[in-house]
Amino acid sequence: MRYRCLIIDDEPIAIKVISNYLEQLPHFEVAGGFTNAFDSLNDLHSNHIDLLFLDIMMPGINGLEFIRSLTNPPKVIFTTAYRNYAPEAFDVDALDYLVKPIPFERFLKAVNKFLEIQERRTINNTSETIILKSDKKNYKVFLDDILYIESMDDYIKVHTKHTSLVCYLRLSGIENLLDKSRFIRIHRAYIINREHVSLFTNTHIEIAGKLLPVGRSYREEVPKRLI
């Protein structure tokens, strides 16, 4: 799996350095680079970003203020010329804090932290469960067993390997409980478990013999998430 990275830094040379570092690593790809934090908002909101490299001292809004403004930010590694913001950076759950100029060895240590976290999440997800209430009963469902989830207005229908459960919950509600590296929104009415995809095109995905539509606004991003 390749993790999508976004770089925000008001110095183009800094973006180039980090891009060059990432291009040497097989598990990462550069989804974009911006010299202005506000210009990155569309990418952050419409595309899946796994890891954000973020400068602190920038015109308009600094990196700390920017990350606090995001509702559901990706993992972040701060890259800055200033050492004194480290305590604030870790207060916003920064993965690491890199001081420029950044040696490749130090950069590698930071991204390895990210990979270790992702590996632990993958291992944990094989045994993780979620409690779903359906027909006045509580069901313990293994996340690995979920095939896809379908929206039915104020309800959702969770399709698993063994059964289907109708729950009084909106799709956005369960989406917030799921691992976004594994469960992918493909349509305003569908979330899928990428592990169970048997085939896909830009317009449809097949899971367990069921053909599901890919919404127009998701057609550029979804195939990238499945490769």
CATH assignment at residue 108:
3.40.50.2300
* pLDDT given at position 122: 57
Last residue of a domain, one of 124, 152, 175: 124
pLDDT (0 to 100) of residue 89 = 92
CA distance 13 to 137: 57
Domain count, the chain: 2
State residue 166's pLDDT score. Answer: 95
**Which of 194, 195, 18, 175 lies closest to 96 in space, CA to CA?**
18
- The CATH number of the domain holding residue 167 is 2.40.50.1020
Q: Are residues 100 and 212 in the same domain?
A: no
Segments in the chain below pLDDT 50: none
Is residue 164 located within the same domain as residue 54? no
Q: Give the span between the Cα atoms of 227 and 224, in whole angstroms.
A: 6
pLDDT tens digit sequence for 123-154: 555 557 888 889 888 898 988 899 999 999 88
Q: Which of 93, 124, 155 is the last residue of a domain?
A: 124
CA-CA distance, 28 to 122, in Å (whole number)?
Answer: 17
Is the domain of 48 the same as that of 66?
yes
HSE, CB side, 13 Å, CA atoms: give it for residue 10.
13
Of 101, 124, 147, the last residue of a domain is: 124
What's the confidence (pLDDT) of residue 121? 62
Residue-level pLDDT at 154: 84
Q: Are residues 139 and 37 in the same domain?
A: no
Segment 98-115, tens digit of pLDDT: 999 999 999 999 999 998
User: What are the structure tokens assigned to 142, written together?
Assistant: 């293994």
At 61, give phi and psi (nearest 5°).
-150, 135
User: Which residues, listed in sequence order, are joined to residue 217 by a DSSP beta bridge?
Assistant: none
Closest CA to 129 of 115, 144, 118, 117: 144
Same domain, yes or no, for 110 and 139?
no
Do residues 51 and 69 share a domain?
Answer: yes
Domain extent, residue 212, equals 129-226
The model's pTM is 0.58
